[in-house]
Structure 1
Amino acid sequence: MLRKCSAELIGTFWLVFGGCGSAIFAAHAIGVLGVALAFGLTVVTMAYAIGPISGCHLNPAVSLGLWAGGRFRTAELVPYIIAQCIGGVLAGGALYLIATGKAGFDPLAGFAANGYAEGSPSGYSLQAALMTEVLLTAFFLFVIMGATDKKAPAGFAPLAIGLTLALIHLISIPITNTSVNPARSLGVAIFADPLFMKQLWLFWVAPLAGGVIGALVYRLVRPAND
């Protein structure tokens, strides 16, 4: 368990550091497409690196969804989520230290945090953000369940999952800055404007609910006797 949780901590650190780091430091050069690909690449690279150790969840919504889908043990659920949150916060702290090393940089101006209404990049409402995060996390878990199915082509799951996460970001960066991952949201919200901590609840509730929905829908679609 210690090795699994250590792998999840490292992997979630990489996801937040790589994905949010690209948004904080390079979004002006790479744009929405570049940031979306950065998030997808963090998952692809870590899936190959730590997949054999922990399964490479990197996300409390993924762990809860896999548990709801019968793919994850109850005893491991809370330790995984704690490790993921620690990894996310450590990455947020590292990004904060780097960002404050540049004169005039204001980490409280957004810091790649997730939000709705005044916290949304384009001013989308709470209801729009809630629907977006639930739907996209549900589809994310649906793809994860299918890509990791015993009948799926071996070795391609990281690519399918990473590309799905990139697509999710292309859809929702303008809406919420894209969470679908409570640990990712927590990791940077702590260091951003206090507004984002006040809005953080949505980026726990919506991804967790969406993850469970997506996993359960996959279980309904896939014949039990398979």
Structure 2
Amino acid sequence: MKKYLAELIGTFSLVLVGCGAAVISGKTIAAGAPAGIGLLGIALAFGLTVAVMCYAIGPISGCHINPAITVAMLVAGKINGRDAVGYIVGQFVGALLGAAVLYAFQQGASNFTMGEWALGSNGWGPGYLGNYSIVSAFLAEAVMTFLFLFVIFATTSKLGTGPMTGLAIGLTLVLIHLVVIPITGTSVNPARSFGPALFAGGKALQQLWLFIVAPLVGGIVAAWLWKGVFETKA
């Protein structure tokens, strides 16, 4: 249960801090307020949260905080089915709680309204950030999740970077966000998309399937590649 609770806390933190940075600090809040943190700031919020959690809960659960990572680890034979289910349940509950707390924060703002894709929800198409197509959205999420998992497999292997693993994984997520935010808002994590979408409803909830399927596809392909080509038996 400690492992599952650690995954819940880690995913809660990722949604609250990452999505919170996007919706609260991502743009100028009011006249005379300092300029928002922008795309780079949002990317750093997500990446640094993952890096911090890697060091905080990594020794407990491995710090997946992402169902795509857990499924990929299951496919690669690095986690058993029982733990995989416990991890994924913890991740989705944590994401839901993170979105709930962020929603509570936002209700305290005098100008807050629950518009389409609220609370940092992921999406695509007309009206969403760069107005990218569903094909672009699916490719971006699948390919970037593949690269993310490849880095995770490599840095956590015997050939990895040891004490620098958490930082390498966090910085990889920063780089992914710098590319994908205009396309989908960047998910590469079904739980991260689930929490905000459940509160936002509307198009965010209708489009949630892509942010479950595409990251899982990318993660599974990375697991197959790592296990079949790069993993050594020594």
Cα distance in 2, alignment partners of residues 213 and 124 from structure 1: 24
8 A Cα contact 1:180 1:203, kept in partner: yes
Cα distance in 2, alignment partners of residues 87 and 156 from structure 1: 26
User: 1:124/1:3 Cα in 2 relative to 1: closer, same or farther (>3 Å)?
Assistant: same
SS of match in other structure, 1:64? helix
Cα distance in 2, alignment partners of residues 24 and 64 from structure 1: 29
Worse-superposed segment, 211-220 or 85-94: 211-220
Residue type matched to 1:23 in 2? Answer: A
Q: What TM-score does the superposition give when structure 2 sets the normalisation length?
A: 0.93
Residue type matched to 1:3 in 2? Answer: K
User: Which residue of 2 is the match for residue 204 of structure 1?
Assistant: 212
The answer to whether residue 18 in structure 2 is matched with residue 10 in structure 1 is no
User: Which residue of 2 is the match for residue 130 of structure 1?
Assistant: 138
User: Which residue of 2 is the match for residue 94 of structure 1?
Assistant: 101
User: Which residue of 1 is the match for residue 31 of structure 2?
Assistant: none
How do residues 1-226 of structure 1 correspond to structure 2 at under 5 angstroms?
2-28=1-27, 29-110=36-117, 111-118=119-126, 120-226=128-234
Off by >4 Å, runs of 4+ in structure 1: none
Give the root-mean-square deviation of aligned CA atoms. 1.2
8 A Cα contact 1:36 1:165, kept in partner: yes
How far is the alpha carbon of 1:148 from its aligned partner? 0.2
Cα distance in 1, alignment partners of residues 223 and 76 from structure 2: 5
Q: What TM-score does the superposition give when structure 1 sets the normalisation length?
A: 0.96
* Percentage of identical aligned residues: 47
Cα distance in 1, alignment partners of residues 97 and 161 from structure 2: 35
8 A Cα contact 1:119 1:196, kept in partner: no
Count of residues in correspondence between the two structures = 225
8 A Cα contact 1:108 1:193, kept in partner: no
Give per-residue Cα distances to partners, 1:104-150, cap 9 Å, x unaligned. Answer: 11233432111121363111111110111000001110000001002
How far is the alpha carbon of 1:13 from its aligned partner? 0.3
Cα distance in 2, alignment partners of residues 63 and 120 from structure 1: 29
How far is the alpha carbon of 1:193 from its aligned partner? 4.1
Give per-residue Cα distances to partners, 1:186-208, cap 9 Å, x unaligned. Answer: 01001114111011001000011
8 A Cα contact 2:189 2:212, kept in partner: yes
8 A Cα contact 2:43 2:173, kept in partner: yes
8 A Cα contact 1:117 1:125, kept in partner: yes
Task: Give the unaligned 5+ runs of structure 1.
Answer: none
SS of match in other structure, 2:79? coil
User: 1:186/1:174 Cα in 2 relative to 1: closer, same or farther (>3 Å)?
Assistant: same
8 A Cα contact 1:60 1:81, kept in partner: yes
Cα distance in 2, alignment partners of residues 161 and 168 from structure 1: 11
Residue type matched to 1:24 in 2? Answer: V
How far is the alpha carbon of 1:100 from its aligned partner? 1.1
